[in-house]
Homo-oligomer: A and B are copies of this chain.
Amino acid sequence: MRYYPAPEGGLDLAEINRAVEAAFADHGRGLVQMPPKLYVTLPKGDFRTMPAYLPSLDIAGVKIVNVHPDNPGQGLPSVMALTIILDTETGRPTAILNATRLTDMRTGAAGAIAARFLAPKKECVLGIIGTGRQAEAQVRATSNELAISGIRAWSRNPAHAEAFVARFREFDAKSVTLEQACDCDVLVTTTPSRTPVVKNEWIHEGTHINAIGADAPGKEELDPAILHRARVFVDDPAQAFHSGEINVPIRKGLYPPGMIAGTLGEVVTGKRKRERPDEITVFDSTGLAIQDLAIASIALRQAVSMELPFE
């Protein structure tokens, strides 16, 4: 059994996008096994357990990831993760990966793939709401799929927004108001909000929205009225109903689950697509275990590891 302490080192973001896209394609064709992730609540956060089997890559395993918003006060990341890989022939555990940064990257890749297929054009202004680690991962991954002609970023903390735009001068990044950030081609929301931060009237026709932040029951970032104007694609219906951007509107009776336009897997495989340049599209990302297996399959081939006894 091998342990990979820093498997993200040197990975190629474009290759990750392709592997994650292929995993979504398998999902769209019903070729994966992936029960909805399980949540366990801890006193100051939660952890999620995400098993899956991806036959096309001959890989199976489980990601375990926590979310503890107060951790940064103690010098720890909010989100930390391990991925355990099992041999598909014998079930033997063969690898353990530190998946904290892999989690950021595979989530970025999902947003990038959604933007590639659903953005209104190939050269886009990105609106960025929330400027933490995940926002950075989204921009870096998406820059491999679209030409980014500008970035308009907002954070609750202006100093964070300034630091963020300083890292993306190459894309003409600017710190703006919340409303100005929404004036874009592709809007990316990565906040931990439990009340909508994006107002309906700020979203113009033709916008694609990557709604990344909502990944647990009670979280939401978008005014539910946006969902009614938009065609909403989810990564996985069961997970999205439970914990995605649509979870609160569904629970409140403000969004009928039957209104969902499809899954990203269906988009990637060509069964669903953006129909008109002026329609609003939303990708509701909760994060799939098959994304974790896809990125792990690349890391296992390339990254430094150490042998652990397992008998």
Instruction: Give residues in A with beta carbon < 8 Å to B.
Output: 3, 5-6, 33, 35, 38-47, 49, 51-53, 60, 62, 64, 66-68, 71, 74, 76, 80, 82, 84, 86, 88-93, 96, 98, 306, 308-311
Contact = CB atoms under 8 A, between A and B. Distances in A.
B308 A91 contact: no
A165 to B, nearest CB: 27
A227 to B, nearest CB: 28
A42 B68 contact: no
A122 to B, nearest CB: 38
Given A90-B76, A93-B82, A96-B96, A40 B52 contact: yes
Contacts of A38: 35, 38, 49, 51
A88 to B, nearest CB: 5
A132 to B, nearest CB: 17
- Report how many copies the assembly holds: 2
Contacts of A64: 51, 62, 84, 86, 93
Contacts of A33: 40-41
Contacts of A40: 33, 35, 51-53, 60
Contact of A47 (B6, B86, B98, B311): B86
Contacts of A88: 42-43
